[in-house]
Amino acid sequence: MKKNQLAEGIYSVGAVDWDVRDFHGYSTYKGTTYNAFLIIDEKITLVDTVKYSQKEQLLYNISQIIDPKKIDYLVVNHVELDHSGCIPDIIDLINPEKVICSPMGEKALLAHFHQEDWPFEIVKSGAEISLGARTLQFIETRMLHWPDSMFSYLKEDGILFSSDAFGQHLASTSCFDDQLPLGDIMNESAKYYANILYLFSPLIQKLLKSLAELNLDIKMIAPDHGVIWRTHKDKIIKAYDKWSKGEDSKKALIIYDTMWHSTEKMAQAIARGIEAENIPAELINLKVNHRSDVMTKILESRAVILGSPTLNNGILPRIGSFLIYMKGLKPTGKLGAAFGSFGWSGEAVGILNSMMEEMKIDLIGDGLRLKYIPTEENIAECFEYGRTLGKAINEKTEN
Ligand code: FEO
């Protein structure tokens, strides 16, 4: 079997992007892949394409198996440009008999590329198309990640082409989940979930239930980013179930920025107080932690304690920017509190509280403000405040 072969006649032919480091605000330190899949049957079928800049890799990989012009059907599971950027060039080259997409997929393709004369074949949930010996079944997955998104399930081989779902931004020439350390794959899967899919958690819960009801005999899950799940597919489904239910650990994140180290000293003392109540507390200085890594930690932590000094009657810009990013991802079921030093006006704690209330974070108390540089007594006060937070976290949670 070739190294990129999923089963007899089914190949991964997408592209590895070793260089990408930013995915609209998500820091992709490990690059990514844009996966596409070729099915050799009576109707030769390409499932998804790649980002425009990676078109040559896609065509090269296909040409190692067949002449790309022999492709009959193009399946578009998702129209975001990392998967569709080269579609116009691919359609010009292969002149497909069908461009298969969801109803919303057609709308999105037209709004992106304005080509009314493409041979659209619109498929709704449950529709099937025969490729010859094999059958593709389609499942619309609206908002995972866009309204147009769908899964394609290759029935005879039990392969679920899952588009963005179950993916990871992880560049590698290894195609499968048993060819890289599982811890690395799961970490990148959690980061991907926290930064791309978190806000769709209620829909993901519904999707997991409806997938179970379909009773598909899934042997492999082939997402459009990262490795294909063939050995550990149950682990990623279980993780999606846990993340989408909002199950986290009794742990506190103390996320702060600091001007002249006073808020930092407060953060350290508060952490010691929380730890004194037997709750792990992690200090996260936003000067040295990327927002997307912090979101990954929030996914799995119960309490979010925010700290900022007051600057110009407001909060420090780094924490403001982080909170705008966090708000969009809609984490649920978190406990929160605020703290910070100030000189004269001292609005930061109130602003942090308001922002957390907007995110429906359950606030513990009104927060702690200290003037200028904390004294020893002030540090003791921060420690006690940490203990108070720790006690409240223990009271409000069971595990
Ligand atoms: Fe990988 Fe929503 O695109």
Is there a catalytic annotation at residue 24? yes
Q: Is residue 42 predicted with pLDDT exceeding 90?
A: yes
The whole-angstrom separation of Cα 145 and Cα 78 is 8
Q: Do residues 288 and 253 touch, judged by C-beta distance below 8 A?
A: no
pLDDT of residue 360: 97
Q: Is residue 106 predicted with pLDDT exceeding 80?
A: yes
What is the C-alpha end-to-end distance of the chain, expressed in Å?
47
pLDDT of 246-268, one tens digit each?
999 999 999 999 999 999 999 99
Q: Which of 11, 41, 73, 78 is catalytic?
A: 78
Q: Which residues make beta-bridge pairs with 39? A: 10, 45
Q: How far is the CA of 224 from the centre of ligand 1 (A)?
A: 8
Q: Is residue 368 predicted with pLDDT exceeding 90?
A: yes
pLDDT of residue 397: 83
Concatenated DSSP letters of 237-304: HHHHHHHHHT--EEEEEEEE--SSSHHHHHHHHHHHHHHHTT--EEEEETTTS-HHHHHHHHHTEEEE
Q: Which of 8, 24, 217, 395 is catalytic?
A: 24
Residue 224 CA: nearest ligand 1 atom is: 1
Using alpha carbons, select from 188, 204, 185 the residue that is nearest to residue 242: 204
Q: Do residues 74 and 66 touch, judged by C-beta distance below 8 A?
A: no
pLDDT of 311-349, one tens digit each?
999 999 999 999 999 999 999 999 999 999 999 999 999
Is there a catalytic annotation at residue 112? no
Question: Token digits for 303?
Answer: 């309490």
pLDDT of residue 2: 85
Q: Do residues 134 and 149 touch, judged by C-beta distance below 8 A?
A: no
Is there a catalytic annotation at residue 78? yes
Q: How far is the CA of 77 from the centre of ligand 1 (A)?
A: 10
Backbone torsions φ then ψ of 88, nearest 5 degrees: -55, -45
Give the mean pLDDT of the chain.
97
- 147-170 mean pLDDT: 98
Is there a catalytic annotation at residue 192? yes
Q: Which residues contact 6 (CB under 8 A, 6 or more apart)?
A: 12, 37, 157, 159, 175, 220, 222, 228, 230
Residue 163 CA: nearest ligand 1 atom is: 1
Is there a catalytic annotation at residue 261? no
**Atom 1, ligand 1: residue with shortest CA distance:** 164
- 288-296 mean pLDDT: 98
Q: Which of 153, 192, 193, 256 is catalytic?
A: 192
Q: How far is the CA of 4 from the centre of ligand 1 (A)?
A: 21
Q: Do residues 225 and 34 touch, judged by C-beta distance below 8 A?
A: yes
Q: Is residue 383 predicted with pLDDT exceeding 60?
A: yes
Q: Which of 83, 145, 169, 232 is catalytic?
A: 145
| Per-residue CA distances from 279 to 1, 63, 276 (Å) | 50, 56, 7
Confidence of residue 178 (pLDDT cuts 50, 70, 90): very high
Q: Is residue 399 predicted with pLDDT exceeding 60?
A: no
Q: Which residues contact 129 (CB under 8 A, 6 or more apart)?
A: 73, 98, 100, 121, 123, 135, 136, 138
pLDDT of residue 398: 65
The fraction of the chain above a pLDDT of 90, given in percent, is: 98
Q: Do residues 339 and 369 touch, judged by C-beta distance below 8 A?
A: yes
Q: Which of 80, 300, 362, 384 is catalytic?
A: 80
- 221-247 mean pLDDT: 98
Q: How far is the CA of 255 from the centre of ligand 1 (A)?
A: 29
- 209-224 mean pLDDT: 96
**Atom 3, ligand 1: residue with shortest CA distance:** 80
Question: Token digits for 309?
Answer: 């000094």
Q: How far is the CA of 66 from the centre of ligand 1 (A)?
A: 27
- 61-65 mean pLDDT: 98
Q: Angle between the 201-214 and 233-245 helix axes, to the nearest 10 degrees?
A: 140
Confidence of residue 1 (pLDDT cuts 50, 70, 90): confident
pLDDT of residue 3: 85
Residues with CB under 6 A from ligand 1: 78, 80, 82-83, 145-146, 164, 224-225
- H or E stretch at 33: strand 32-34
